[in-house]
Amino acid sequence: MVVYTYSVKEKTSRNTAAKRKIEEVFQKTTSPITLKQLYKKVATAIPGVAYSTVFRVVERLEKDTIVSRVGFKDRGALYEWSGRPHHHHLVCEKCDDVADISDQMLSFNDSKVAKSTGFVITNHSVELTGICKPCQENN
């Protein structure tokens, strides 16, 4: 079990069941999940846990950049653990399955964009949509 560590900016933090479980769910889940999904999983392990608790823990985790919010078009806000290597997502149109894509596979260069727009690029996010293998076959 990974020990909970807040960023240096945080003075204190307490090790609670909710936090431990939330971290565990994030670690076990490869694809981004909604707060609702997270809450359901947490509530199974900790009956009676409040949605607001999950909300606040994740809120804190996001501020501390331990989890990050990733944006998808239609679904609501999704969260995933930040520790994993930089990657992007490929979402299946049919079943909403999410595959990870490494940055190298995309190979586009920010500098060309930076030059033509005058922006300094600080971050990029790519979302691909497609149809996964199983769904292609079950057609």
Partner DNA sequence: GTGTTTGCAAATCATTTGCAGCTTA
Partner DNA sequence: TAAGCTGCAAATGATTTGCAAACAC
Residue 78 contacts residue 33 (beta carbons within 8 Å) = yes
Residue 58 φ then ψ, to 5°: -65, -40
Residue 128 contacts residue 88 (beta carbons within 8 Å) = yes
Residue 16 or 136: which CB sits closer to a copy of itself?
136
Residues in 39-78 that interact with a copy of itself by CB under 8 A: 69-74
Beta bridge partners of 34: 78
Residue 70 as a binder of DNA (CB under 7 A): the answer is no
Pick the stretch among 16-24, 84-92, 103-111, 120-128 that binds DNA (CB under 7 A): 16-24
Pick the stretch among 12-20, 25-33, 82-90, 115-123 that binds DNA (CB under 7 A): 12-20
Residue 29 or 68: which CB sits closer to a copy of itself?
68
Instruction: Pick the closest to residue 128 from 117, 79, 105, 65 (CA basis).
Output: 105
Cα dist from 124 to 2, 43, 64, 71, 108, whole Å: 28, 34, 20, 12, 10
Residue 52 as a binder of DNA (CB under 7 A): the answer is yes
Residue 107 as a binder of a copy of itself (CB under 8 A): the answer is yes
Residues that bind a copy of itself (CB under 8 A): 69-74, 90, 92-93, 99, 101, 105-110, 112-114, 116-133, 136
